[in-house]
Chain A
């Protein structure tokens, strides 16, 4: 008897709490002036714009900080536009850039944005020597010369002197990158400890002039921004922005369907398909910078034969992959510059063609194929790509053994030139074509001792003195149209002869509530913009 009473009590208690809950949980939808984004943000290790270099962190910095020159989110193809600098002039020798700062711009603290802040920020980027610092040090700035090469001559004038003559578009494109963000020097200096340029403080705080300022950052959980009502470009419609770390695509989808978030940034193709019939939700496609490729070590006697390299280009089922497991995630792209970059090349000359490949192999003296090893990181999409390639190569008699490993193991072999075929991905570091040209199409010294591990051409032991010279010429060309044409020429040759087979470019699918407008993810060249969003 009593047992029954206890059980009855439990059932009753459960029923009561369920009723109470259903009453409290009816409140759905996000407020009209708050943007709630679900994203994977566990890659944020620092909020210091002169240190951070990962996706989620760059998204943050793009909204909290301004740069001297900026992208227009409404038309990214216009390239760099006046930002905190209203104009600039370049000396006749092409080495000295003089920026005129725009008047009346203010930091979140209320301090005026001056040329001194700009100089401090760029010097800081060079002096702190964090990972992305190479984007600026490639112009010859270093810890010893930074006071001479980057200086404010008065409150409104910043003078920057490079070591050589570079294409102005190259320098200015680099000044749109996150590393070139302008920080509030008075605030940051006041938090300096032991000559750390205020790094420790800025890792968890903000001191910018962007559309938003930081309210708080809870690692692996969320960050929250509040609006800068005096933003110089436009008064943003969203009073605050909350970016929540939601690792699971299925969870992001549920939240989006319920209207508890406005934007879901990491939906899998399955979940995108699942929401396709929902009229409250829209899905945007945007090309990003990541390129998927395979590359062949030129130390290998077989893989270094031009006909073999060409044959392999016809042994990859590009369309088959983008129509199946890469659907929605990647598009076929066969050049080293991502589409939306200056100098993009849209030609796609290769597709799966077994007969042609066999003919080329026979001409190279390998009519019966050969054995080779592909090394690949244990990430799902890369393994699937490697398996597809293994499958199509086999049809031409090429027997592939797949070796999987962690990033450290596989990358270690690649950097040590100890491999045959590598399945890789490359994302541009800054919004200028040189970022990829310098690694895919430049190899100043092919010896093992040179250890140019940062250059993909070197890792593949591809000796190209002519192309290296042309890449160097392109980065010094002052005429933007000519410069773009030079990159197209280089890519056309690269596409045909290099040991790289560029296959795919990343496509990002973003799910959003249909009432959310103006969410720009930044294509391949830049990051997300929150200040353009309306509901």
Chain B
């Protein structure tokens, strides 16, 4: 009895101490996230204000009379000092209200809910493509360092990295849509399928499955596959090169030699031991490339008439639609922060030392 009590107390103390430690680290993380976001907002705000674009003209047009111009100027709050404007912005955003977009006459949050799923769908599929093809390619290249396999992977990677995306996009469209007719054209769906299924997640591939409409699913797939492959090609180029260099580092380690000496099969050595260790830094690489795609790829979106976050943000920026720009920036910022936190978390899952 007494023995049990004696052992339980220090354990409990240890538990509460570790809880406190975790809470502390959580607070630190939250604080740094908040600081990052405020900094981000501040920079976006300042850039938006010094840009030589007039948000009032974007709304009222060049022909507006001075009276109409002034009314819009005041209704946008531009007559107030800059720091007051920034304060009002922060207050509004803290309440989760990004305001109304000047260009779409709708709440920015509604706009983002509309455009973000398109980007999410495209970026996710692109990243899956990048992982599924990029990691094996990187491994093959590392295992065959200097041989033809390595050269092929390097060539494919470099090509993907150095070709302008609008060129690859257009050529891809001409070949696979224009000539071969294998894939759907620009846009997320053929026009006959638009607005047919109810919007649940905003991701057409998933909404069509929820609705059980396999025709729409295939149609959406035929539209997304080409832009997703092109974005995937870019992330493949990055992921395969990083995988290759991480693998080369691992393959030269002594534990690999030990494993080989122990008589393990080459497959186990490469794919389980070496790749297993490579996965840890690779998570960060993948998370970053995913975050990059989630920002929305403007050129891809324009070529493929893909109504995503990238073209929304660009249009907003060019007309100084600051509510929309700030709303979009916060979303992109949160994605980066979120994915960074996620990769930190995955680190701990994969790497026992980080627990």
Contact = CB atoms under 8 A, between A and B. Distances in A.
Contact of A131 (B54, B63, B173): B63
Nearest to B307: A221
A242 B184 contact: no
Contact of B64 (A131, A247, A248, A254): A131
A408 interface: yes
A219 B104 contact: yes
A248 B192 contact: no
Interface in B298-328: 302-305, 307, 311-312, 315
A533 interface: no
B312 A2 contact: no
Interface in B57-74: 57-68, 71
A17 B105 contact: no
Contacts of B315: 42, 220
B191 A36 contact: yes
Interface string B153-191: 000000000000000001001100110111111110011
A407 B132 CA distance: 47
Contact of A254 (B60, B133, B174, B192): B174
Given A22-B182, A242-B194, A204 B105 contact: yes
B60 A258 contact: no
B65 A45 contact: no
A10 B133 contact: yes
A246 B186 contact: yes
A46 interface: yes
A454 interface: yes
Nearest to B220: A24
Contact of B303 (A31, A129, A134, A251): A251
A248 B302 contact: yes
Contact of B183 (A25, A34, A248, A429): A25
Given A246-B305, A250-B170, A258-B185, A45 B219 contact: no
Interface string A13-32: 00001101110111110110
B124 interface: no
A244 B187 contact: yes
Contacts of B185: 254-255, 258, 260
B337 interface: no
A406 B53 contact: yes
B218 A24 contact: yes
Interface in B192-229: 192, 194-195, 215, 218-219, 221-222, 225
B15 interface: no
A10 B132 contact: yes
Interface string B48-92: 000011100111111111111001000000000000000000000
A7 interface: yes
B103 interface: yes
Contacts of B312: 220
A501 B60 CA distance: 28
Contacts of A200: 105
Given A129-B67, A129-B68, A220 B311 contact: yes
B150 to A, nearest CB: 14
Contact of B218 (A21, A131, A219): A21
Which applies to chain B's interface (DSSP): helix, strand, loop or mixed? helix
B328 to A, nearest CB: 13
Interface string B131-158: 0110010011001000000000000000
A260 B185 CA distance: 8
B181 A25 contact: yes
B178 A34 contact: no
Nearest to A30: B191
A242 B190 CA distance: 12
A408 B52 contact: yes
B111 to A, nearest CB: 7
A17 B128 CA distance: 15
Contacts of B302: 247-248, 251
Nearest to A45: B103
B343 interface: no
Nearest to A18: B182
Contact of B68 (A36, A130, A220, A244): A130
A250 B315 CA distance: 19
B127 interface: no
Contacts of A247: 302, 305, 311
Contacts of B192: 31, 34
A411 B61 CA distance: 12
B114 interface: yes
Contacts of A24: 215, 218-219, 221-222
A266 B127 CA distance: 33
A409 interface: yes
A219 B104 CA distance: 6
B102 interface: yes
B255 interface: no
Contact of A45 (B59, B132, B174, B305): B59
Contacts of A30: 191
Contacts of A224: 194-195
B106 interface: yes
A31 B182 CA distance: 21
A133 interface: yes
A222 interface: yes
A3 B140 contact: yes
A408 B53 CA distance: 6
Given A216-B195, A411-B62, A45 B102 contact: yes
A31 B192 CA distance: 8
A131 B68 contact: yes
B13 interface: no
Contacts of B173: 251, 254
A54 interface: yes
B96 to A, nearest CB: 20
A463 interface: no
Given A10-B136, A244-B305, A247-B305, A133 B181 contact: no
Contacts of A45: 58-59, 102-105
Contacts of A54: 61
B102 A27 contact: no
B355 interface: no
B190 A260 contact: yes
Interface of A: 1-3, 6-7, 10, 17-18, 20-22, 24-28, 30-31, 34, 36, 42, 45-46, 53-54, 129-131, 133-134, 200, 203-204, 215-216, 218-222, 224, 242, 244-248, 250-251, 254-255, 257-258, 260, 405-409, 411, 429, 451, 453-454
The 7 A-B pairs of least Cβ separation, nearest first, read A219-B104, A221-B307, A203-B105, A24-B218, A131-B64, A22-B182, A406-B52
Interface of B: 52-54, 57-68, 71, 101-106, 111, 114, 132-133, 136, 139-140, 143, 170, 173-174, 177-178, 180-187, 190-192, 194-195, 215, 218-219, 221-222, 225, 267, 271, 302-305, 307, 311-312, 315
26 contacts: A3-B140, A3-B271, A6-B136, A10-B136, A45-B102, A45-B103, A129-B67, A129-B68, A130-B60, A131-B63, A131-B64, A133-B68, A200-B105, A218-B307, A220-B104, A246-B186, A248-B303, A251-B170, A251-B303, A254-B174, A254-B177, A258-B178, A258-B181, A408-B53, A408-B54, A411-B62
Given A131-B63, A248-B305, 15 more contacts: A3-B267, A17-B221, A25-B177, A26-B181, A28-B181, A130-B60, A219-B103, A220-B312, A220-B315, A247-B311, A248-B303, A251-B302, A260-B191, A409-B52, A451-B66
